[in-house]
Amino acid sequence: MLIWMYIEKNYLEQSNVAKIKSDLIYRFLIEQDNLRRFQKQIKLYKWTGSEELTSMNISDYVSPFMAYKAAYDVQEMTRIQKVMLADSPESLKELRKKVNYPNTMLNTLIAYKDQIEGRGRNYSII
């Protein structure tokens, strides 16, 4: 699923499922040294229809994903931070409703909130 998401660029879809999957993958990759290990240990090959396989560079797929996620996350965190500063929601549920996040994206919201508050993106799951 992980490699397929990169190759097919499913992370560009605006569905909640695609957003949740891409957030989980991103959170895994940014933890400790996972990105480097992932790129070092996984090899991709393209079958051209003949008997030969062509080696593919996985960073050609990972780099656009990481850039997209970083830009998307900054946009979302800026929007969430504005609501936090302007409305001072008293609970996570109130914040979730004000930023119009469905309950299925609660973990993503918690991660954004943790990062905004300086605790780190994976603080709540570690």
Judge contact between 47 and 53, C-beta under 8 A.
yes
Residues 6+ apart with CB under 8 A from 80: 95, 99, 109, 112, 113, 116
Domain boundaries, the chain: 2-125
Residue 113 in tokens: 């909130």
pTM of the predicted protein model: 0.88
pLDDT attached to residue 102: 97
Q: Which mean pLDDT values do the consecutive 10-residue runs of the chain (126 residues) have?
A: 72 91 92 92 85 87 93 98 96 97 97 96 90
Judge contact between 84 and 109, C-beta under 8 A.
no
What is the end-to-end Cα distance of the chain in Å, rounded? Answer: 23
pLDDT attached to residue 87: 95
